[in-house]
Structure 1
Amino acid sequence: MKVLIVDDERDVETLFRQKFRKEVRNHNLELTFAFSGQEALDILQKEDPPKVVYVFSDINMPGMTGLELLDKIKAKFPGITVSMISAYGDSENYNKAIQSGAKEFFTKPIDFESLRGEIKQLL
């Protein structure tokens, strides 16, 4: 299963690769990273249909926000599951994300066990 992680902080790639190394090693998970909303859309548009089945995106990013990205993904690729993450667990972002079609909303620091459970539901 191909997962796209979108975050403007590049150190999340190392963190995700460490936390999911077993799943990646066993070929249960393929991790792809984008560091902006536009880069994420470019990755999704490379293949028709996209091989990505799950997008995990930060909300607060420069340029295109995660909520704007969520709207674009849901409009163009309605079959892709999207979950959002924010450093701020405020109800406004939570409500906007869920109303826009996000499956789940996580706050930083990421609870990787909850995220792992979320991904296993899709496998």
Structure 2
Amino acid sequence: MNPLILVVDDEADVELLFRQQFRRELRAHRFTMEFARSAAEALGRIEKAGDATLILILSDINMPGMSGLDLLPKARAIRPDVPVIMITAYGDADTQDRAMAGGAEALLTKPIDFAALRGEIETRVEQAL
């Protein structure tokens, strides 16, 4: 089974962007990406993954309903073994402090540095294999 990365963002174009940025890796079945359009949907997918090879959760912070910061401790409670990287357009110190205090592995700001993210994902994939 391929390592799984869950991307959580309410914006529809994020899935297209991630699939485009990681098209080579996805075509080569290096890992699989699933997408959730809300924190609630993400929680369902995290619970459903069980002991599957979920290796990373990437979550936007600002979403309607449950925010990424609200999702963070819930996701960590279900799968404490899976790192969560938060993504935000607002990389202020308060947001970073709240994300890190909630158990985030890191905080990325938009626009995303996909080269750096690719390196992070590659590290996780290698550890999973």
TM-score normalised to structure 2 length? 0.91
Aligned-residue sequence identity (percent) comes to 49
CA–CA distance in 2 between the matches of 1:91 and 1:50? Answer: 34
Report how far residue 12 of structure 1 moved.
Answer: 0.3
Question: Is 2:32 aligned against 1:30?
Answer: yes
- Aligned AA (1:90): D
Is the Cα–Cα contact under 8 Å of residues 8 and 36 in structure 2 kept in the other structure? yes
Report how far residue 76 of structure 1 moved.
Answer: 1.6
- Aligned AA (1:69): L
Task: Report what 1:73 is aligned to.
Answer: 75
Report how far residue 50 of structure 1 moved.
Answer: 4.1
Task: Report what 1:4 is aligned to.
Answer: 6
- Aligned AA (2:116): S
1:46 is paired with a residue whose SS is helix
TM-score normalised to structure 1 length? 0.96
- Aligned AA (2:61): I
2:43 paired residue among 38, 41, 46 = 41
CA–CA distance in 1 between the matches of 2:41 and 2:124? Answer: 24
Task: Report what 2:57 is aligned to.
Answer: 55
CA–CA distance in 2 between the matches of 1:13 and 1:89? Answer: 21
2:20 paired residue among 14, 18, 21 = 18
Task: Report what 1:106 is aligned to.
Answer: 108
Say what the alpha-carbon RMSD is for the aligned residues. Answer: 0.9
- Aligned AA (1:91): A
Structure 1 residues not aligned, in runs of 5+: none
How many residues were matched structurally? Answer: 123
Report how far residue 47 of structure 1 moved.
Answer: 3.3
- Spell out structure 1 runs of 4+ moving beyond 4 A: none
